[in-house]
Structure 1
Amino acid sequence: MTSVLIAGGASGIGAATAARLRATGADVHVADINPAGAAEVVRAQAHHPGSGTAGYCDLSTADGPGQAVAEALDAHGRLDAVVFCAGLLVETELPGFTVAEWDRTMALNLRAPFLMAQAAAPALAASPHGRVVLTGSTAAFRGGGGSFAYAASKGGLVALTRSLAVAMGPDGTCVTCVCPGWIDTPFNDPYWQRVGGREGALDALRSRIPLGEQGRPEDVADVIAFLVSPGSRYLTGQAVVVDGGLLAS
């Protein structure tokens, strides 16, 4: 049975991934700054095989990622995979974008995944199929008029994935980055607010996506489930785009 730590699993893609992995029988620990939401995700999947635990963790702090790893190990006795889904999206026009917004974004979106992989490395090396899956974005490959720190952090995450893959590969750990496009979750609310509202912009967005619609969190969770599975044993250092064809258009 696989033991997985999901960082930022109280909602959106993280919650969908927790549900998907619990359904396969995995033991899952959900670490989130929203402990009530994390606990509800675990409770809702109690009918599945495997066990679920949840804990409070501020992943944007220097100690938070290591704390989450330690709690996952305490809860389940081992760690086979880390899935980092936590993230921050700040949407501010260029003249008003602040240093504080930049630093908050980088602390959670880029520093925290590195610290979590670093803390988890020994446990993952002891697993027969150690996995790290980071959550990037198509923002790593295309610009956005107000998401400066977000886009920069996700571009950095793709580069970090490659470096971690090189460092952790000799121990048998595969490191990948899943890069969602437009997934219909409240995470995108700052963008809708910046452009004047969801309804006015949604039709234009859909017209740019070859499959004609936003994705669902489950669309990304299904890909993550493969990336943490033994079947992905020869896939590492790669960014896997899940965007309905947006980048191809």
Structure 2
Amino acid sequence: MATALIAGGATGIGRATARQLLGSGYDVHIADIDLEGAENAVHGVDGPGRGSAAYCDLATPEGPAQAVRDALRLTGSLDAVVVCAALLVEHELDDFPTADWDRVMALNLRAPFLITQAAAPHLTASGRGRVVLTGSTAAFRGGGGSFAYAASKGGLVALVRSLAVALGPAGVCVNCVCPGWIDTPFNDPYWERVGGERQAAEAALTSRIPLGALGRPGDVSGLIAFLVSEEAGYITGQSYVVDGGLLAS
């Protein structure tokens, strides 16, 4: 049975991924600043996998290594790391605080690197190590207000390629999923910045998506589950867009 660490699994895509992996037999540890949400995510899943959760502030320099240590307490080994934790801050260009830029970079870009760095020896020992980082279509398209978020996700796509090269000789596969508009509370800062009635803003947005709707967390977790599976052992250094066709339009 494989063991996975989900960094940021209390809500949204991370929660859906944790529950899907638990249901398919993985042992799963969630590291999250929302301990109650993380504990709820690993409870009540019908499957053989064991779940655990611990409070962890991944935006601190020490948090990522702590997340790996906590995950190792579950089974003593680690086969997969999935990083879903992220922060979206929206401000206009002339009102974007340096402190918010630094907060976004600490969680969205530094934390995935530090988690992978701390987990690498254990993933190598596994013989089938997998890392999946969560990027965004913001890495490939502009959006007024999300300057730090877009920059961090663009950096993450580049980071995945470098990690794949570094860890490939050890048999560890590193990939990235890049969701588009997935309907979770994560998008609330955007709805607040554009103002007005969310229904109108959402209608304008979905009119540009060929599939005509926002995505669901399960639309992304299925791909993540495949990328951490044994069947994905010859895929590395890639970034996969899940956006209902938005970038193609």
Q: TM-score normalized by structure 2?
A: 0.98
Report the secondary structure of 2:42's partner residue: helix
Deviation of the 1:128 alpha carbon: 2.2
Q: Give the deviation of 1:129 after TM superposition.
A: 1.1
Report the counterpart of residue 173 of structure 2 in structure 1.
174
Specify the alignment match of 1:203 in structure 2.
203
Q: Per-residue deviation at 1:44?
A: 2.9
Deviation at 1:2, TM superposition (A): 1.2
What is the distance in 2 between the residues matched to 1:227 and 1:199? 34
Partner Cα distance (1:53, 1:39) in 2: 7
Distance 2:49 2:136 in 1: 30
| Residue identity (%) | 69
Q: Which residue number in structure 2 is paired with residue 27 of structure 1?
A: 27
The number of residues matched between the two structures is 248
Instruction: String of CA shifts for 1:25-53, please: whole Å, max 9, x gaps.
Output: 100000000111111111132x3211000
Q: How much does 1:127 deviate?
A: 1.0
> CA–CA distance in 2 between the matches of 1:49 and 1:147?
40
Partner of 2:199, secondary structure, is: helix
* Whole-angstrom distance in 2 between the partners of 1:100 and 1:190: 17
Supply the distance in 2 between the matched residues of 1:93 and 1:76 (Cα, whole angstroms). Answer: 46
Q: Deviations over 1:54-109 (max 9, x none)?
A: 00000000000000001101122100000000000001011110100000000000
Query: Which sections of structure 2, spanning at least 5 residues, go unmatched?
Result: none
Q: 1:233 — aligned with what?
A: 233
Q: How far does residue 7 in structure 1 lie from its aligned partner after superposition?
A: 0.3
1:139-154 matches, cutoff 5 A = 139-154=138-153
Q: Output the CA distance in 1 between the equivalents of 2:124 and 2:17.
A: 23
User: Which aligned pairs between 1:1-249 and structure 2 lie closer than 5 A?
Assistant: 1-45=1-45, 47-196=46-195, 197-249=197-249
Listed one character per residue, the Cα deviations across residues 88-137 of structure 1 (whole Å, up to 9, x for unaligned) are 00010111101000000000000000000000000000112100000000
Once the 2 structures are TM-superposed, how far is the Cα of residue 19 of structure 1 from its aligned partner? 0.8
Task: Give 3-state SS (helix, strand or coil) of 2:127's partner.
Answer: coil
Letter in 1 for 2:186: F
Give the partner amino acid of 1:10: A
SS of residue in 1 equivalent to 2:247: helix
Runs of 5+ unmatched residues, structure 1 = none
Q: Residue type matched to 1:99 in 2? A: T
Cα distance in 2 for residues equivalent to 1:231 and 1:97: 43
Off by >3 Å, runs of 4+ in structure 1: none
Distance in 2, Cα, partners of 1:35 & 1:231: 32
- 1: CA distance between counterparts of 2:75 and 2:203? 45
